[in-house]
Amino acid sequence: MSRLVMKFGGTSVATVERIHNVARHVKREVEAGHQVAVVVSAMSGKTNELVAWCKEAAPLHDMREYDAVVASGEQVTAGLLAIALQKIGISARSWQGWQIPVLTDDAHGAARIQDIEAKGILGGFTRGEVAVVAGFQGIHAPTGRITTLGRGGSDTSAVALAAAIGADRCDIYTDVDGVYTTDPRVVPKARRMEKVAFEEMLEMASLGAKVLQVRSVEVALVHDVPTYVRSSFDDPENPRSGTLICKEEDILEAQVVTGIAFSRDEAQITLRRVADKPGVAAAVFMPLAEAGINVDMIVQTVSEDNMTDMTFTVGAADYDRARALLEQGKNGVGFASISGARDVAKVSAIGVGMRSHAGVAAQGFRALADKGINIRAITTSEIKFSVLIDAAYTELAVRTLHTLYGLDAG
């Protein structure tokens, strides 16, 4: 008998009516002979409401108590789904993170899973019982405090649970029917992919695709958990297969470029006339790292008179904080001036086929130039390249690259 983890996001469980629909999806898999664990998010909008209450209670609040509050959203959903399953004749019980337990570190609000002791869930399987697990949460054993995993943490909970119980696969149900070559709202000809390699999905998730949380893909990759992205709004009696995220060798005919991702959540910072000497880069980037500010693209001009210009990107939400930190350290770094821009976007092309094909990025640069799109910065890896451009050209750039690499449907 195979084991299966099913995860349902906030829009899938937004109302009691939708929870009954989820129960029908679960019933289908139980009747197919699977041992099933279900991981659920809070009902749509509930987590935002709980977070707002914490801020209203005290703008600077104890993050341990914050976790106790916001974890309650998933607990409500888990109980309601267990009730809905019981109503249609399926044996089920709800599990909170601390009951399993899902063991985490003590980084409240952004904890990381360290281990899952799933004996109770496995014992329930022998009794024909569906485990309905509250996602997004765990426990820090030394203190006995509830922890939460950060936004999107229910995806990570589901994949980690699948690894812990030796599940044959993990199905992530959401409001889309799979992973597309790019956002269909930007490119109507975008098409759903049948399979995507773990590495490709990891790049896509980190570069702007919103289908899966990055950490969940990392866990799936490390533990080799085949993961489907499926729609909870399909007919439970006749669902579509969605998109399978799997090992590269399981994809028979990999395309050179699999998808185009983009992010408008970018900001650019430029330091002018920085001394070109050992230790300067560390002086620039270490304070940002210590403040938890992620730096992405970095471009440094050719040195003239032992002085250089340095350009890099940070998340738009971190722009003001990053700039303030740099200005505070101006004397130590020794730059002449600082400038920045928020009206930028990052557009990326991803594909494992780039490893064996030369000139893929160069073709993209030429196509963008032909459309009059100026590239501010470039980063590359074995399976992707990213360009920083003016935000006004984002959709044009995405459509241009999508067509260039033969990703348009039809």
Of 173, 151, 14, 158, which Cα lies nearest the Cα of 81? 14
Q: Is 384 known as a binding-site position?
A: no
AA identity, residue 153: G
Of 42, 35, 33, 36, which Cα lies nearest the Cα of 13? 42
How far apart are the C-alpha atoms of 384 and 204, rounded to whole Å? 9
Q: Is 8 known as a binding-site position?
A: yes
Of 228, 257, 241, 268, which Cα lies nearest the Cα of 6? 228
Q: Is 211 known as a binding-site position?
A: yes
Q: Is 10 known as a binding-site position?
A: yes
Q: Is 7 known as a binding-site position?
A: yes
Residue 284: is it exposed, middle or buried by C-beta count within 10 angstroms (0-12/13-18/19+)?
buried
Q: Is 136 known as a binding-site position?
A: no
Distance of CA 385 to the CA centre of its chain: 19
Q: Is 47 known as a binding-site position?
A: yes
Q: Is 180 known as a binding-site position?
A: yes
Q: What is the number of residues in the chain? A: 410
Residues making up the annotated binding site for substrate are: 47, 74
Residues making up the annotated binding site are: 7-10, 47, 74, 174-175, 180, 185, 210-211
Residues making up the annotated binding site for ATP are: 7-10, 174-175, 180, 185, 210-211
